[in-house]
């Protein structure tokens, strides 16, 4: 049975695909962009509620190839082959890349008749949010990039020990997907990570949609995408960069490089945050996102 969620969802035809999305709250539009393999339902409801309480209308959506948005069917190269190519600076072939996913987000705003929005992305979603700001600067009132990197191939790389452990994990199946998600997040999350809470959320996600090859395709899309550093240097939208100091999936150098690239950006780093959104830090994060939005209002 597909789990039920507290707000009705809808679909939009945008950028040549179908995008599943949800809107909640009233106020300034804020687009939340999810990370690799994540569905819109993977955003913690308490985090969304806090953003709504801070005066935003929050829009979440399934990125292409994930959840209930359009699924693609090209065969991704094996992670080992893709990694080998990346090490010799030969990006793997991909039928879509981060700029295509940023165009999806712009297309969704078009359908919703939203001229511009505050944009918050985490991990791969931070990459998409950065690219959206570069390619469609008038659509982004403010940018928040959480636990992401610039795509320069040097900063914010995965820790070697985490990569080795991931390579030894069994392939995801319907039966093991939720437990495998918990095991994965234990590798890169901070001390506030709650396996039981994550296991329940992951189980709901698997019930809603199970597309393991889509996650592989999104991984290849990241690896095939260009370096955003030069584009970020031209960003004028008020920018907040958030990163955890114990992040082992996208190491803190990713956040540092992003903050260095964007003129007049603000950098917020938490000593007790890994590659997750720790609940004890929600209020501080939401407050910083609100303050960044106020910078846009003053500008």
Q: What local confidence, expressed as pLDDT, does residue 5 receive? A: 47
CATH architecture label of 9-298: 3-Layer(aba) Sandwich (3.40)
**In the structure encoding, which two tokens stand for residue 14, read together?**
């945008």
From CA 286, how far away is CA 242, in angstroms rounded? 11
**Whose CA is closest to 192, among 2, 22, 46?**
46
CB neighbour burial string for 112-146, b if at least 16 within 10 angstroms, e if fewer = beeebbbbbbbbbbbbbbbbbbbbbeebbbbbbbb
- What's the confidence (pLDDT) of residue 141? 98
Evaluate if residue 84 carries a pLDDT over 80: no
Q: Identify which of 242, 289, 232 has the alpha carbon closest to the alpha carbon of residue 262.
A: 232
pLDDT tens by residue, 41-62: 999 999 999 999 999 999 999 9
- Two tokens at 246? 């114990």
Query: Tell me, what DSSP letter sits at residue 79?
Result: H
The predicted model gives 68-93 an average pLDDT of: 77
Statement: residue 187 has pLDDT above 60: yes
Chain centroid to CA 232:
17
Asked whether the whole model's pTM tops 0.75, one would answer yes
Residue 59 pLDDT: 98
pLDDT tens sequence across 120-172: 999 999 999 999 999 999 999 999 999 999 999 999 999 999 999 998 999 99
């Amino acid at each position: 049975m597909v789990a039920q969620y507290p707000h009705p969802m809808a679909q939009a035809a945008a950028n040549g695909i179908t995008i599943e999305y949800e809107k909640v709250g009233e106020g300034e539009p804020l687009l939340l962009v999810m990370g690799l393999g994540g569905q819109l339902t993977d955003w913690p409801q308490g985090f969304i509620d806090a953003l709504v309480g801070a005066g935003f209308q929050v829009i979440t959506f399934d990125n292409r190839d994930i959840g209930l948005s359009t699924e693609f069917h090209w065969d991704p190269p094996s992670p080992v082959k893709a990694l080998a190519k990346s090490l010799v600076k030969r990006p793997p072939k991909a039928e879509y890349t981060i700029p295509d996913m940023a165009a999806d987000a712009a297309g969704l705003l078009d359908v919703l008749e939203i001229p511009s929005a505050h944009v918050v992305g985490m991990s791969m979603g931070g990459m998409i949010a950065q690219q959206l700001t570069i390619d469609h600067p008038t659509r982004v009132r403010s940018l928040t990039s959480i636990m992401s990197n610039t795509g320069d191939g040097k900063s914010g790389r995965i820790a070697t020990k985490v990569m080795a452990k991931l390579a030894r994990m069994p392939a995801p199946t319907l039966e093991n997907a939720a437990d495998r998600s918990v095991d994965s997040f234990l590798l890169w999350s901070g001390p506030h990570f709650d396996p039981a809470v994550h296991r329940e959320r992951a189980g709901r996600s698997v019930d809603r949609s199970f597309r393991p090859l889509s996650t592989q395709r999104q991984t290849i899309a990241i690896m095939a995408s260009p370096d955003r550093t030069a584009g970020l240097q031209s960003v004028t939208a008020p920018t907040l960069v958030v990163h955890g100091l114990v992040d082992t999936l996208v190491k803190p150098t990713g956040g540092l490089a992003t903050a260095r690239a964007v003129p007049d950006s603000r950098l917020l780093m938490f000593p007790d945050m890994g590659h997750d959104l720790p609940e004890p830090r929600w209020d501080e994060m939401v407050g910083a996102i609100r303050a960044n939005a106020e910078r846009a209002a003053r500008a």
